[in-house]
Structure 1
Amino acid sequence: MSHIATSQIESFDGTALAVHRLDPDTGEGRPVLLLHGLFSSAQMNWIRFGHAQMLADAGFSAIMPDLRAHGASAAPQDAAAYPPDVLVRDVQALVAALGLAEYDLAGFSLGGRTAAGSVIAGLRPRRLVLAGMGLESLDNWHARSTFFIDAIDRFDTVRSGDPAFFAVQFMKTMKIDRVAARLLLQSVQDMERADLASITMPTLVVCGEDDRDNGSPDALAAALPDAVLVKIPGDHMGSVTKPELGRAIVRSLSD
């Protein structure tokens, strides 16, 4: 494993965001901004299972923020710190602070949703990767957020067999601040399907064969102007552990 450098960057409102970076051994490569999923972290999504190393080995610089209320980033418990689409605003602030011009953007699950929202809001990466995503979670976020907010609210009483059990166990593993996470979930806004027309750059939709947690990846790929769909082994939580995810991202960005 190459050396991972970690820094802190202030977002638009002064909230401290941890940013982890893995460069090729030869020095800086073309930047790829990687956004992790809900209740996860850069370490869990991108570093632990080797995806960032695959990108570095292919000549890319993997830039991996911990989202607000996740990982080593700040998790404020003040509702004012979670305006509508705060994660999109954080990504815009990171791109500006890092001075990224020619870069690629990739995200898994909530990170993928945030990546799509960031493009709709005006960011223009060279290429886009939406992983662990389906069409329905873009314009019906309420259904997904309700499930997770319920898991937070019933955190201490959820037992094995409950649909929320694995979400609660993952929150425990990741030491999630539940107050901050609940506020963050409420800040995420629905998208309009018509807005997907603005996602004009080449896009990889990559999803586990058994993953429909966020809806249909087939429908998402079909709704985008220039998308390719790749399916890899696993369900939602399992697919991110597979080397096929990193390989698919590298192939897509290397074309």
Structure 2
Amino acid sequence: MTTEHFRSFDGTKLAIHRMGEGRPFVLLHGLFSSADMNWIRFGHAARIAEQGFEVCMLDFRVHGQSEAPRAPDAYPSGVLVKDVAALIEHLGLTDYDLGGFSLGARTAIHGVASGTLKPQRLILGGMGIDGLSQWEKRAAFFTRVIDEFDAIPKGDPAYFSMQFLKSQKVDRIAARLLLGSMEDLDPAQLASITCPTLVVCGDEDRDNGSAQELAEGLPDATYVEVPGTHMSSVTKPALSEAMADWLGRTVA
């Protein structure tokens, strides 16, 4: 694996982790996580790379080894889609596949639905219809985690999220600004995503609403369940096994 940095559209330095050789597959991680936590640590990137892919994993701004600017103007609407577009341009990709988990899936959907990102195939992990159309409610949960932080007691539904954010050493000022840059997506826009799509979700994962309903709203989607909750499914080999199997059976 190699790690490098590049400057995004506004000069923010972002990290890219690359593994394997072959067809480019861009992978995007979840909120307050990183490429290492979601894709490298539990072997997902390696499993996919073994199938003949170069797995290109971005650390979003405010995450992992990327910069976390604290200036409000570093967080325009749709900033993460702009960062992914900058990554695609930096790597010179014209024929590639795209995947993401949770926030990464949400970012990929916004990018493809708007026509900014044009992958041949798309994989959406840990994402349901509510995570697109009810972002304000989801953002309010994480804003509370940031604002109350150490005051959140054990047993509170937000406690585990607070502990995870703390373990990842996320800059809370930058994270709060990032949350404000994200907008809802009208489910009707899903009809514009015509590329073959895999929707894969834990069988106990309801954090972002119904993943099956998301798949039903896409013109060419396959729905697969794997074991686990929102937090545990991404630690199990079944996730990348499902992804690699679908990539191997689907024409790019």
- Tell whether the structures are fold-level matches, with TM greater than 0.5: yes
Deviations 1:196-237 (A, max 9, x none): 111100000000000010010110000000001000000000
What's the secondary structure of 1:240's corresponding residue? helix
Unaligned residue ranges in structure 1 (runs of 5+) = none
Instruction: Give the corresponding residue for 2:157.
Output: 163
Q: Give the paired residue count.
A: 248
Does structure 1 residue 51 correspond to structure 2 residue 48? no
Distance 2:95 2:217 in 1: 25
Deviations 1:37-86 (A, max 9, x none): 00000000000000000011111111001001000000001110000010
Instruction: Give the corresponding residue for 1:194.
Output: 188
Unaligned residue ranges in structure 2 (runs of 5+) = none
Instruction: Give the corresponding residue for 1:22.
Output: 19
Distance 1:100 1:159 in 2: 46
Amino acid aligned to 2:100: G
Instruction: Give the corresponding residue for 1:235.
Output: 229
Structure 1 residue 121 displacement after superposition: 2.1
What's the secondary structure of 2:224's corresponding residue? strand
Distance 2:150 2:234 in 1: 27
Q: Does the 8 Å contact 1:197/1:225 carry over to 2?
A: yes
The root-mean-square deviation of aligned C-alpha atoms, in Å, is: 0.7
Distance 1:149 1:125 in 2: 32
Distance 2:235 2:73 in 1: 35
Deviations 1:103-154 (A, max 9, x none): 1000000000001111012121010000000011111100100000011000
Instruction: Give the corresponding residue for 2:90.
Output: 97
Q: Does the 8 Å contact 1:208/1:236 carry over to 2?
A: yes
Distance 1:247 1:102 in 2: 23
Instruction: Give the corresponding residue for 1:183.
Output: 177
Does structure 1 residue 253 correspond to structure 2 residue 250? no
Structure 2-normalised TM-score? 0.97
Instruction: Give the corresponding residue for 2:4.
Output: 7
Structure 1-normalised TM-score? 0.96
Amino acid aligned to 2:111: S
Instruction: Give the corresponding residue for 2:207.
Output: 213
Distance 1:125 1:206 in 2: 18
